[in-house]
Structure 1
Amino acid sequence: MPRPADQPRSPVTPDDLDEIVALAVAALGEVPEAAWDGRAGTLEWDCWETVEHIADDLFAYAAQLGPRKPPLTSYVPFEAERRHSGGPANTIRADKAAGVAGLLQVLESCGGLMSAIARSVPAQARGFHPDGVSDAEGFTAMSIVETAVHMHDLATGLGLRWQPPAGPCARVLARLFPGAPSDTDPWDTLLWATGRGELPGRPRLTQWRWYGEPQG
């Protein structure tokens, strides 16, 4: 069932993001070089560019809160480029000459940027996102979703085991998916809420969104 409106929730924190990114980097560090050209689960992207996409999202979310007066109606206008039809439109890329270690350093660096921004901006800071003008907690939660669920895509494509801890998943659900059930496994529920899994007695989602606006 959804969380009752009068029930307090635990906030999503930069420590949560640090934990998820660290677990992702550790898991991906076990992947051999030859595996990175394969597709990331059901995505049209290969595994390398999926990691770039995660890093790009973390960078972009940090950027939305970076200006002294963050934009409330648009993204900060960094140039983004698709390198092939159907590929992710990224600002952030990893130099392939640096290998997988370099790719994972890019991911870790962008995660660190997002965490640092979330820790440093004032509580009243707001930035644009198409699913709701959001605050530092909201962008931190979005960063966790992007990392955790795309790691699920990567794990499917790479044959990895990936299951992030329940605590951050539950806090993200309460922050971004207030209508999601709270009496089911948090990771299974996050996969369901993002159209990647099923929950008993509930239809699989073919469309989904999160709610970025700050909550009381």
Structure 2
Amino acid sequence: MSGATREIAESNDALLTNRLVVSAARVCVDALSPLSTQDWRSVRAHDLEWSVWDTLVHLNDDLYFYAAQILLASESDYICFELSADDHADSQRLLTALTVNARLLAAVAADADPSARGHHVFGASDPAGFAAMGMVESLIHTYDMVRGLDEESTWQPPDDLAGPVLRRLFPHAPHGADAGPGEVLLHMCGRIPLGNDPRRSDWRWYGDAQHPLSASSQAVLVGDGLRAQRQY
């Protein structure tokens, strides 16, 4: 087993055994709950075109969707369904739903056959990969929402959660950077500059569990046009 393959295997085990996607959702709930007195429908989620409310609905849908992709087990298709929220729900109910959907994804991923593969535009992925994707969405969109609600906030993804995500989905992330995993994850997802590297306008992750990133594919970036289809 190569070093890269061993690293992915160890990361997969941590993602599933420790139910880290639930921890990522808990971090989101803890960060947003103190800000729930604001009108989330009218506040933009930092640099996104969505409101905080719409971003949280999207995040809930992502977690459900990733669980469904694992169960669908098709390497060539998406499930033809999306979640929608009760228009009368308050922010606390959306946060409660987030916890439920994170637990759903964690349970489905842990119970699934590790050899199962589900379709994703960033590479057909295994259950642990989809759990990691749920963590990316939870951590990055928490940053978006918190910054939208509090411009002075210094919140960033916790290093102990960002690290496993980087190892599993971002093999092209800079190693030995003079920054913690939380900062590196924000940089890899186009949120902040890092050192002398400017903020990324094009970014992606690699979900394929079988093929660690090759040198020739490191230059392949997916542009905003593709990401705009749906921020899976």
Q: What residue is the counterpart of 1:163 in the other structure? A: 156
Alpha-carbon shift at residue 205 of structure 1 (Å): 1.4
TM-score, normalised to structure 2, is 0.80
Matched AA of 1:202? D
| Distance change (3 Å), C-alpha of 1:6 and 1:95 | closer
Q: What residue is the counterpart of 2:196 in the other structure? A: 201
| Distance change (3 Å), C-alpha of 1:30 and 1:200 | same
Listed as ranges, the gaps of 5+ residues in structure 1 are: 79-90
**Between 117-126 and 161-170, the greater mean CA deviation after superposition:** 161-170
* Contact 1:188 1:198 (8 Å CA) reproduced: no
- Deviation track 1:161-204 (CA, whole Å, cap 9, x = no partner) reads 53332122111111111011122311111111111111112232
Listed as ranges, the gaps of 5+ residues in structure 2 are: 213-232
Q: What residue is the counterpart of 1:38 in the other structure? A: 43
How many equivalent pairs are there? 199
Q: What residue is the counterpart of 1:47 in the other structure? A: 52
**Between 118-127 and 4-13, the greater mean CA deviation after superposition:** 4-13
Answer 1 or 2: which has greater helix percent: 2
SS state at 1:105 partner: helix
Structure 1 position 186 matched with structure 2 position 190: no
TM-score, normalised to structure 1, is 0.85
* Contact 2:157 2:183 (8 Å CA) reproduced: no
Give distance in 2, aligned partners of 1:7 and 1:112.
27
Q: List aligned pairs for 1:169-180, cutoff 5 A.
A: 169-180=162-173
SS state at 1:167 partner: helix
* Contact 2:31 2:142 (8 Å CA) reproduced: no
Q: What residue is the counterpart of 1:8 in the other structure? A: 7
Give distance in 1, aligned partners of 2:198 and 2:6.
26
Q: List aligned pairs for 1:57-206, cutoff 5 A.
A: 57-67=62-72, 70-78=73-81, 91-159=82-150, 160-184=153-177, 185-206=180-201
SS state at 2:38 partner: helix
Identity across the alignment (%): 37
RMSD: 1.8
Q: Larger relative contact order (C-alpha < 8 A, sep ≥ 6)? A: 1
